[in-house]
Structure 1
Amino acid sequence: MTGRQGVILYGPPASGKDTVTAALAELNSQYVQFTRLKVGTGKSAGYRMGTAEQLRELKAAGDVVYANSRYGNTYAIDRPGVDAAFAAGVPVVHLGQVDGIQALVSGYPAQWLVVLLWCPREVTARRSAGRGDGDTAARLAAWDATREDLDAHPDLAWDLTVDTTAASPQDAVRLIDQMLAQRAGAATA
């Protein structure tokens, strides 16, 4: 196992992945959000926009660790992108599918801290509307899919679970940072 550490934040839309990632980066600039490759249209902020041809080339080279389609777009976790994120610090990867977690943990060697961020469906609706999402209905459908995904994997073990309606982002960040420090200490002992 490599000594490189990364964080996977899993949860439904508006569960706090962006907020927790920003708080991590504020705590320590070594935390960097992994920017997924996005092929499609719509929001480009927070993504590396790519083409279908680029995605085909990455797949042909065996460099797509995980890809999924949602909101009419394709989102990919690619090996060169993860390499670059590790070169920049401690990557924080946002995921909304258990298959993505499993693909990343098994397909990219690192010490991954897997964190479940959760909020009720009505909180996703309120947060989505509050941040001006034009596709709140699609976000709620994704919330439903995330709940079904969790229900289909009851044996999945989380390193940390955070109810983002009860814990502040700073509380979540403190726990994440402490857990990574403990793991790093255990690895060097």
Structure 2
Amino acid sequence: MHGVILYGPPASGKDTITAALHQLDDRYQQFQRLKVGPGRTDGYRMTTEAELTALRASSDVVWENQRYGSVYVVDSPGLRQQLDDAIPVVHLGQVEAIEAVRQAFPDVSWTVVALTCPRDVAEQRIVRRGTGDTWQRLRAWDETAPASTADITIDTSQTTADQAALLIDQAVRAAAP
């Protein structure tokens, strides 16, 4: 089993590269994290606080973080199901989350990709999104630590999404037993 972790700050290209990966090979599918709270719903499995409490009680939360007034969760049942059918592409923004996912699924060959871009490029991308929370996203950008354990690092201001997808696919294939 294979999985991809796209790690990086807001506006580093996680969504765009995931779309390019899926276009390259439809087995690559974004893992939709659970979300409790306001804001964007596209790309998430919306849930309730009660359902999240039940997941916590059953130790099925692999990773959770809070940002933008919401809670975001990588859940083991959801990720396990996707691993059976696809190559999940998990979007993460905290270094500790990488190890949490690896430890929760040690039998999976994880390719970790650190996405970077200059802050001013990220700011331009955030402004174009029009979400109205530019300062919060830039603060999250500033707080995102570099991933020293990444298998590949890609500067998305210098590499197209299609080129990045090819590099990632090559790394996944090279890791195959």
TM exceeds 0.5? yes
Matched pairs, number? 176
Match 2:64 to one of 51, 62, 67: 67
Q: Give the counterpart letter for 2:134 in structure 1.
A: T
SS in structure 1 at match of 2:175: helix
Matched, 1:183 2:138: no
Deviation of 1:182 after TM superposition, in Å, equals 1.2
TM-score of the aligned structures, taking structure 1 as reference length: 0.90
Q: For 2:93 and 2:149, how far apart are their aligned partners in 1? A: 16
Question: AA paired with 1:135?
Answer: D
Distance apart, 1:83 and its partner CA: 1.4
Q: Which residue of 1 aligns with 2:164?
A: 172
Check the 8 A contact 2:76/2:104 in 1, yes or no. Answer: no
SS at match of 1:87: helix
Give the aligned residue type for 1:164. T
Give structure 1 stretches of 5+ with no counterpart.
none
Residue type matched to 1:35 in 2?
Q
| TM superposition outliers: structure 1 runs of 4+ over 6 Å | none
Could you tell me which residue of structure 2 aligns to residue 56 of structure 1? 53
Specify the alignment match of 2:141 in structure 1: 143
1:139 and 1:84 map into 2 onto residues whose CA distance is 31
Instruction: Work out the CA distance in 2 between the residues paired with 1:54 and 1:111.
Output: 29
| Percent identity over paired residues | 50
| Structure 1 partner of 2:121 | 123
Q: Is the 8 A contact 1:65 1:108 kept in 2?
A: no
Partner of 1:105: 102
One-letter amino acid of the counterpart of residue 133, structure 2: D
Q: Could you report, residue by residue, the CA deviation over 1:42-84 in whole angstroms, capped at 9, with x for unpaired residues? A: 1111100011111111111111001001111110000111012
Residue identity matched to 1:141: R
| Aligned partner letter, 2:173 | A
Cα deviation digits, residues 89-116 of structure 1 (max 9, x gap): 0000000000111111112221110000
Q: CA RMSD in A?
A: 1.0
1:84 to 81, 86, 100: 81
Cα distance in 1, alignment partners of residues 149 and 61 from structure 2: 25
Q: Deviations over 1:150-184 (max 9, x none)?
A: 3xx7xx22100000011111111111101111111
SS class of match (1:125): helix
